[in-house]
A = this chain, B = another copy of it.
Amino acid sequence: MPTMSDVARAAGVSVMTVSNVLNGKPRVGAETRLRVLEVVDELGYEINLSARRLRSGRTGAIGLVVPRFDHPYFGDLAARLSSALASTGRHLAVEQSDASKEGELAALSLARLQTYDGVILSVVGLGYADIDRIRPSFPVVLLGEQHMPPRFDQIHIDNITGARLATEHLLDRGARRIVMVGGGDEGHASMVTLRTRGWELAQQERGVPVDDAAVLPLDRFEMSSARIAVRALLARDPSIDAFFAITDQVAMGVLAGIHDAGLRVPDDVQVVGFDNLALGEFTMPGLTTIDPSNAWIVENAVAALDRRIADRDSAPQHLVSPVHLVERGTSRASRAAPSP
């Protein structure tokens, strides 16, 4: 495996010249540059990023830490981030925080974070203390709703507004008994707590009494858990005429549960999700949902990270991404024909 000195020797120059050529430094003769590049090609030389990092600090790699690889929401986020970074000559590596919790080295260990120039960290499921251990000087942007040390940049989704839009929409379309699937009060600002709060607020504002029994908590936000819970609930309470699912994935399970119960969507029961996964266009009928503006989130996360990489002491930003309702067929049309 050739090193920079091998290249230097073969090209008859010093290692510094090779380094300068490879880093695009200006003060190199055109002829020298050409010769070096030829030798690089010839020997198949590739730079050792560990050595570069040890000396200079940079790697060109950005990390994204997500709860799970197999959740489509994070797949979408990662793909968008990857494209955004590729256009600036960097690249993305994605790690999962869930699976490694048991290991000695958490995905959050500084050791691992340090291999990146900066990290975007989805804090779903992570505690304040986990995050507080991260050295303040390390460039991190947090994604998520939890209350986190304010010294970090953080981007929230406007969960309350989103949940409110969803619930108001269902009320507008004639729903009278809306079950909040995956809801609850976790005692702190979390996705679950906030979306449930939005669901409550919308009802209060419309003068609809909020029934705590209409919150259907879920152990895990998986399709199968939701399906089973919804099927059982519908069997014992036929008055339910709508579901607000805490995520689109849960909504998929809700749709299946409704189908299992022999009911029709949206005629018997209406459904609204949250996330606007690509998938939602392809359920039958299409899933009405809340769009959390992933493009906006990615754009601002990269900007915040770049700002922090450039200046580690810049004031931390706390941003809230806009949300909007995407109407499809799982909720009833107001007057016009429903969209496909």
Which residues of A come within 8 Å of B, CB atoms?
1, 44, 46-51, 53-54, 59-61, 63, 68-72, 75-76, 78-79, 82-83, 86, 89, 91-96, 99-100, 102-105, 107, 109-112, 114-115, 133, 135, 137, 223-224, 227, 252-253, 255-256, 259-260, 278-279, 281-284, 340
Contact = CB atoms under 8 A, between A and B. Distances in A.
26 contacts: A46-B114, A49-B114, A49-B115, A50-B50, A50-B51, A50-B54, A50-B59, A50-B114, A59-B115, A61-B112, A63-B93, A69-B75, A69-B78, A70-B75, A70-B76, A70-B79, A70-B278, A71-B75, A82-B96, A89-B104, A93-B93, A94-B95, A223-B281, A252-B279, A256-B282, A256-B284
Contacts of A100: 82, 86, 91
Name the residue among A104, A135, A281 with the largest chain B CB count within 10 angstroms: A281
Given A75-B72, A260-B340, A109 B46 contact: yes
A187 B259 CA distance: 44
Contact of A83 (B54, B91, B95, B99): B99
Nearest to A227: B282
Counting from the closest, the 4 A-B pairs by CB-CB distance are A69-B78, A70-B79, A46-B110, A70-B75
Contacts of A47: 111
Protomer copies: 2
Contacts of A79: 68-70, 96, 99
A278 B114 CA distance: 34
Name the residue among A1, A50, A94 with the largest chain B CB count within 10 angstroms: A50
Nearest to A90: B103
A109 B252 CA distance: 39
A50 B51 CA distance: 7
Given A50-B50, A76-B70, A86 B114 contact: no
A274 B94 CA distance: 26
A91 B82 contact: no
A48 B114 contact: yes
A92 B103 contact: no
Given A70-B75, A83-B99, A86-B100, A107 B91 contact: yes
Interface of A, secondary structure class, is: mixed
Nearest to A51: B54
A27 to B, nearest CB: 21
Contacts of A83: 99
Contacts of A75: 69-72, 75
Name the residue among A1, A69, A78 with the largest chain B CB count within 10 angstroms: A69
Contacts of A260: 340
A121 to B, nearest CB: 14
B102 A91 contact: no
Contact of A49 (B51, B94, B95, B111): B111
Given A44-B135, A70-B75, A75-B75, 9 more contacts: A1-B137, A46-B109, A46-B110, A46-B111, A50-B53, A70-B72, A252-B282, A253-B282, A256-B282
A92 B82 contact: no
Contacts of A223: 278-279, 281-282
